[in-house]
Structure formats: C-alpha cells, structure tokens
Amino acid sequence: MTHESHASAKAESDPVVVGHYELVAPLIAASFGGTPVAAASYPDGYDGDAQYYQHAALPIPRYVSTVAVPTVAGERRYVAVSPEALTWMARDHGAVTFFGWSPTPEDPRRCGYARIIVEPFGGADNAAAAQAAAATREQLHEQDTDAILLRSGAIGYALYVPLADGPSYLAVRPWLEDIRLHASLAFELISAYRHMGRKGAYVFLSVETNTPGRVSALPYALRPEELAVVTPLRWENLESGSYWTVADARERLAAEGDVFAAERARIGACRLPKSRGIPLGMSAPLEPVGELQVDDPQPRAHVLDAALAILADGKPREAGEILAAGIARKLLPATLTRKAVYILLEQYIARTQGRGRTPRIVQDPDRRFRVNHFRDDWPAPPALGEPAAAAPPEIARQLAASSRGADPAAFERAACDAFAHLGFLATHVGGEGAPDGLLRAPLGGLGYGVALEMKTAGSGVVKDPDAAEARKNADASGMEYAALVGPEFGDDVEFLGELQTHRVAAFTVADLALLLDRGSDPYEMRTLFAPGIVADRLDDLLWMRDHGESKRVAVVAGAIVDAGYAAQSAVAVHGTPHNAPTLTADAAMLLVDERLASAGVSDACTREQVQAAFAYLTSPLVRRAVWADDTRQAIVVVRAL
C-alpha cells in the first residue's frame, strides 16, 4: 500500500502501545535500522480510520534521523528507523503501526528484504493461508532461497526473503511474480492476482509492495485489531504457532527471543536468483511468428498480442484453446506449451495490476482468460451507416515527431491541432505560469473545458510530468479538467498516485493517434479526462463503441431489415398486400430473437433496442423502412440489405 501524510488532529498516545515499542523498538532497529519508516495512528479509536505519517511531515527532534528518498516528484525525506524514532512517534504522535518497504540502509531504492504477503479472501481461513505460505516456500527452496515467516496478526502471513546483494526493486518484482505464478500452479487455492468478482475461497500472494514507497507492516509492529503483533515464527511452528498480542508480548519475547533475527541468521546470505518466468510487456504489431523457444525473451509479446487477437470477440478461453487458435492462425509457434501460455498471461495480469494499471486481459474464477470487458457473443452488425471519418494521418505524424523534438512550442501547437481535429475548440497559450493549451467542448449544456500541459522527451518517456502544475493551471484558467500530453509516461505507482491526487489525465501521443484514427469526438471523450492513465479507459471506450449498445441496435436493425423484407417478399409472391402481417415491435422482437438464437447468442434483444432500431431505420436520412400508418406502431421495410 501507499500512504500520503495527512495533517489532522494528533492522536493521543496509548501507554500500553508506548510500552510495547520501548520493548521491541531495539529489535526492529536491529534488522531495519536506518531505513525509511511510515506510521499510522487511530485518533478515532482502533476501529476507526487510520491517520498516516510519512515523508517526515512532523517536526523532527534532533535525536531522530531522516533518510532522503528520490522520487519522480523530487526528493522526499522519511523518518529513519531507530529505537528513539519509533518510541518518539508512539509517545508524542500516537503511532500504533509502523510500516516500511524494507530496503537496504545504504540505498532506499535497493531491496534488503523481498516481501510476499499471504492474504486469504472469500472465506478462506488461516489454515488455507498457512498452506499457501508453505507452498510458496517450496518455490523459494527450488531457487536456493528461503524466507522468514511472519504471522501478520489475527489472519494472514508475510514472507521476508533476505537479499544480501541489495538488488534493484526493478529486478526483484519480476522474480517474485515468477515465484507467485509457480506457486499458484502448485497449489489450487493460490491466486496470482485479486479476483474482484470471484466467489469462493482463495489466497492471494501480494508482491506489489516491493517498490520504494509502497509499504507493509514491519515485524513486531502492532495491528489495531486486538493490538495483535506482527509475529515472527519458526517454520516448524507454522501450523501451531499463534500470534502475540500486546498483552503477552513481553512474556513471549522472554521465552522465544528475537525470532526474526534468529531466522535471518539461519538463512544466511541469499542472492537474487534469475527468474524462471518471462517478463511481459506490450509489443510490436501483430504478425505471424516462426519457431520460438519459450526461454526466448520475445515470446512474451507475441503471446500477449496473439491472445488479444484471439480473445477480441469477448468469449473466454482457457490457455490450451488460446494456444491451439494461435498455432492455427500462425500467431504462435507450435513449440509453445499450454503451461507457458498460462504463466505468461497470469504474469501479465499480475504485473499490470501491481503497477496500478488495468490489464487488457483478465482471468475468470474458472481460470479461463478473456478481454477485460463484458462478454459479447452477438454477431457482427451489417453496414447500415457511414463509419466515423479518421483524421488525416499527417496530424498524428506531426504530433509524434514534435513530441521528441527540441521545440516544445511546436509540440504544443501539434497537440492543439490534434484536439481541434477531434472536434474541440483548441487554443494554444504557452508561457510561464499558463497552460500550454485550452480546450473547450462545444456541446451546449454538456460542454466542458480542459487545460493542457504538454511535455516533450527526446528519450520518448517524460521524466518529470508534474501533475501538480497541470492542475494548478486548470484551476487558474477555470477549466474543469486538467490533462498532460507527452510521448510516453512512466507507470510507476508514485506517478499514478500524483495523477489521482491532483485529478489529472495523462494522454500519450499513441492515445491521441488512436482517437484521431477512430474519428472520436468531445462527447465520447469526456470520460477520458478523469484522473489517471488515459490508455486504461481508452480501451473501454473503443470496446463500447464496437461491442456496446450501438452494435446491438445495429444487429437488431439488420435482423429486422433482413427478416422483415424476406417475409414481405414471401407475401408478395403468395398472397395479397392486405393480408400481409404488420411488423410491430413485438413481432420484430420474435424475429430478432430467432435470428440471435440461431447464431448462438445467449441473451435476447430488448424492446428498447427494437424501438431504437425502428427510429433509425425510418429516419429520413436512412429510409430503410417507413411507418405503416400514422399510429407508428408498425413498419414496412422498403429496401433489403
């Protein structure tokens, strides 16, 4: 989790809590001394909301040290772990729980302990969590590593892997994701990611806090529930070992000693192994591939792109079905295995969610994969109208070229030009203390305004996006929305948090190019200006356009024209006009449902969809049908598909 400092009323200290940290602060400092620490107090009681202290926001006494942490928003200072610091925060500021990301004391960007948090969900009990912890340890043993076991409190566990070589967190995360995926294959209850809609018990292995600034509770820290202690355990006590509480901590410590330090000494020096999995990322355009080996670094991209192409119809498939379809369409090599496809896709989902992003593919509780949208088993609609016109391609080309150039003003003008082609009234402003551009959506009472902040980057990735500046300029300009525009942005958690905090949307050049190509407009784009990464919502917008209500109305309209004209033709040959049946909404619903069922569609059309199709087909601009009489209760199809 991540925490920002919040200024509010200081919580009263609890003498019992202060006494606990006077007892255990030396133990915490012995293993984590000099590393950044955050704290939580509970001013409204232990069952109330937490108040977090971070970034050294408190007045710091001289005897408490701080540590500087570089971030995308500049250097931030944190309180450094020491016995004096922990007891001071507990005594003077009511701190109850202490958190950290367990880096090396020398460099907060390098990992001292890799952490795996074992969390039961959906009714899974602590016995299931214990089994999951043991299964995860087996995966660590396969790579000649081991972990210190902690009981997280009343329920759940944490595994701390000591890493003597202090590797970068960028290297640690892929390795932990690999451990998590192999553990999920070995133990059925383990999930590699959280299932928001999943029913039934499962255990989630969280590795997302292995990033500077993302924290979990430190060993010997207190939890507000029951004032339980984050308790180190020896592995032989996994099933039987109970957690400490503040009431028995002194007695348990006297009997058991510093278990965390003892286990650290038992394990000795571990070094980061190589990941068995294949890190995933987005890739080059989809194309047929030749013979690739699963340990080649390239299959990750081809598997993801092939899966997206195969799952584009919205139907869920298991890994073997994706592999078979990919081989048949020459998108995947015959040497690839079902297990490799399964691991690669789960790894992509876990990593994307771990960065706070929205994966384009998700996994259902039955372990089948699908695109991250509602299911669409309706047939393709007929071409009844003109598609939205794409903008001239040179608009996107100029935007891309100037985004990496040395002239920021040229990029500002190109971005404003791109938004103008999307239907906005775009004004280039620029200059110190002013937005780079202003957008107004000419939608009458539905109109809105956007302040733009454009960022060039010769490397292709904006290093200092400054979401705060974008929001400041939007507020000063009286604009509802604020947006950053750049070639690419990093997707680290800190940047995502800044976008949410300052209510800023981040558009990449690729996002704008896609919107230009699809002929988007200010009305449908409004949702894209919500805080966050635009690409995460753009995929939903385009899916709704292609698979949402407009598609269904088009399918209904096509079926009405096709079936209705066929029925009218039969009457014209074998009967007389006054005996022809009328095509009412009820009759049309029966015809359409029959067509849908024959196409294998699982749901029926709605009356509202039929009425919308009638209105469309009888429009003077379309005139595929006319009203049968002035009552407008039935239509006559005048032209076949």
**Residues 213-231: tens digit of each pLDDT:** 888 999 999 999 999 999 9
Q: How would you list the strands of the sheet with 437-440, edge to edge?
A: 425-428, 437-440, 449-454, 481-486, 504-508, 532-533
Which phi and psi (to 5°) does residue 190 adopt? -80, 135
Q: Which residues contact 145 (CB under 8 A, 6 or more apart)?
A: 161, 270, 273
Does residue 383 fall inside a structural domain?
no
Q: How confident is the model at residue 296 (pLDDT cuts 50, 70, 90)?
A: very low
CB atoms under 10 Å from CB of 445, counted, come to 4
* Structural domain ending residue among the three candidates 100, 123, 146: 100
Do residues 163 and 246 both lie within one domain?
Answer: yes
Does residue 384 fall inside a structural domain?
no
Using a cut of 0.75, tell me whether the model's pTM lies above it: no
Q: How confident is the model at residue 284 (pLDDT cuts 50, 70, 90)?
A: very low
Percent of the chain at pLDDT exceeding 90: 50
Do residues 179 and 254 both lie within one domain?
Answer: yes
Comparing 71-80, 221-230, 262-271, 298-307, the range with the smallest average pLDDT is: 298-307
* Mean pLDDT for the stretch of residues 504-528: 93
Comparing 153-162, 593-602, 625-634, the range with the smallest average pLDDT is: 593-602
* Mean pLDDT for the stretch of residues 399-409: 91
Reply yes or no on whether the pLDDT at 5 is more than 50: no
Reply yes or no on whether the pLDDT at 275 is more than 60: no
* Structural domain ending residue among the three candidates 535, 561, 581: 535
* Structural domain ending residue among the three candidates 317, 338, 371: 371
Reply yes or no on whether the pLDDT at 573 is more than 80: no
Do residues 248 and 310 both lie within one domain?
Answer: no
pLDDT of residue 194: 61
Do residues 55 and 188 both lie within one domain?
Answer: no
What's the whole-number average pLDDT of the chain? 85
Do residues 418 and 527 both lie within one domain?
Answer: yes
CATH number at residue 483: 3.40.91.30
CATH number at residue 136: 3.30.70.3300
Percent of the chain at pLDDT exceeding 70: 87
Task: Return the top range by mean pLDDT from 176-180, 397-401, 544-548.
Answer: 397-401
Helices (H), 458-548: 467-477, 493-502, 509-517, 522-525, 534-547
pLDDT of residue 494: 76
Does residue 432 fall inside a structural domain?
yes
- Containing structural domain, residue 413: 393-535
Q: How confident is the model at residue 607 (pLDDT cuts 50, 70, 90)?
A: very high
Q: What is the DSSP letter of 197?
A: T
Does residue 277 fall inside a structural domain?
no
Do residues 152 and 209 both lie within one domain?
Answer: yes
Does residue 289 fall inside a structural domain?
no
Tell me how far apart the alpha carbons of residues 31 and 267 are, in angstroms, rounded to a whole number.
14
End-to-end CA distance of the chain: 56
Full DSSP string of 586-631: HHHHHHHHHHHHHTT-SS---HHHHHHHHHHHTSTTT-SEEESSTT
Do residues 474 and 579 both lie within one domain?
Answer: no
From the number of C-beta atoms within 10 Å of its C-beta (0-12, 13-18, 19+), residue 9 rates as exposed
pLDDT of residue 208: 83
Do residues 526 and 555 both lie within one domain?
Answer: no
Do residues 123 and 192 both lie within one domain?
Answer: yes
Reply yes or no on whether the pLDDT at 356 is more than 80: no
Do residues 432 and 571 both lie within one domain?
Answer: no
Does residue 507 fall inside a structural domain?
yes
Does residue 8 fall inside a structural domain?
no
Do residues 441 and 491 both lie within one domain?
Answer: yes
What's the angle, vertex CA 501, arms to CA 43 and CA 353, rounded to 5? Answer: 95
pLDDT of residue 9: 47
pLDDT of residue 557: 93
pLDDT of residue 1: 39
Tell me how far apart the alpha carbons of residues 506 and 428 are, in angstroms, rounded to a whole number.
18
Does residue 222 fall inside a structural domain?
no
* Number of compact structural domains in the chain: 5
Torsion over CA: 134, 139, 143, 148 (sign): negative
Q: Who has greater pLDDT, 544 or 462?
A: 462
Do residues 95 and 119 both lie within one domain?
Answer: no
Reply yes or no on whether the pLDDT at 117 is more than 80: yes
Comparing 27-31, 33-37, 370-374, the range with the smallest average pLDDT is: 370-374
